[in-house]
């Protein structure tokens, strides 16, 4: 019988294995164990890996340093998926080597979007009016 997905997020085991896989991928890319001109010419960060509940699929979120040449880097990772999977299997002791999938990490874009929202005039005005109100309340409490 299939288990229902856990609405509270990944299990502790999924998180632990994801972190081990993330470290293994980062080490392989850092050491240059995969001979590919695109991967060799870029510094690639792996900020997060998410594992499927059965630990058979690992989705690695990657970002080349500076955000340059994302599509060629992801294409190079896809081309070398088999070799990367073998290296991960050597470094992480699991019953099955997870199938690797690579996606662009969008957390930096989301952070930029939130920063831009916080810098808008409307938000700045709201924050100034709230800080003025809190000063009034503090003054009332002292009287």
pTM over 0.85: no
Secondary structure (H, E, C), 17-51: HHHHHHHHHHHHHHHCCCCCHHHHCCCEEEEEEEE
Estimate the crossing angle of helix 81-91 against helix 12-31, to 10 degrees: 120
Q: Enumerate residues 6+ apart whose C-beta is below 8 A from 75.
A: 38
- Cα–Cα distance, 64 to 105 (Å, whole number): 9
pLDDT tens-digit profile, the chain (143 residues): 445 556 677 889 999 999 999 999 999 999 988 888 988 888 999 999 999 999 999 999 999 887 778 899 999 999 999 999 999 999 998 888 999 999 998 887 788 888 888 888 887 887 788 776 655 545 554 54
Report how far residue 14's alpha carbon sits from residue 20's, in angstroms, rounded to the nearest whole number: 10
**Rounded distance, CA 61 to CA 51, Å?**
11
Sequence-distant (6+) residues with CB within 8 A of 22 are 46, 48, 49, 60
């Amino acid at each position: 019988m299939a288990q229902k997905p856990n609405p509270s997020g990944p299990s502790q085991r999924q998180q632990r294995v994801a972190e081990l896989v993330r470290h293994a991928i980062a080490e392989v890319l850092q050491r240059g164990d995969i001979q590919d001109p695109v991967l060799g010419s870029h510094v690639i960060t792996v900020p997060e890996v998410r594992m499927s509940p059965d630990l058979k699929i690992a989705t690695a979120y990657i970002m080349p340093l500076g955000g340059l040449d994302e599509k060629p880097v992801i294409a190079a990772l896809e081309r070398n998926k088999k070799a990367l999977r073998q290296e991960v299997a050597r470094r992480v002791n699991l019953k099955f080597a997870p199938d690797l999938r690579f996606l662009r990490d969008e957390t930096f874009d989301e952070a930029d979007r939130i920063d831009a929202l916080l810098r808008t005039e409307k938000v700045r005005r709201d924050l100034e009016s709230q800080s003025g109100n809190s000063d009034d309340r503090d003054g009332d409490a002292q009287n």
